[in-house]
Amino acid sequence: RRKSRRKKPSLYWDKPPPGFEHITPIQYKAMQAAGQIPSNVTV
């Protein structure tokens, strides 16, 4: 029963924040952790 149900390009997946297209999400999170960019994620 496995078939791809994707029918349109994603609104969310692989959309980087504006201005951060040149870095990877891992680098981005490292910068957040280092306080270089604001983090609005609460854990």
> Which stretches of the chain bind other proteins, using CB under 8 A?
2, 4-6, 10-18, 24-26, 28-29, 32, 41-43
Nearest residue (CB) to other proteins, 34 versus 41: 41
The least CB distance from residue 35 to other proteins, in Å, is 15
Maximum alpha-carbon separation in the chain: 46
Residue 15 or 34 having the CB closest to other proteins: 15
**Which of 12, 20, 22, 11 minimizes the C-alpha distance to 32?**
20
Rg (CA), the chain: 15
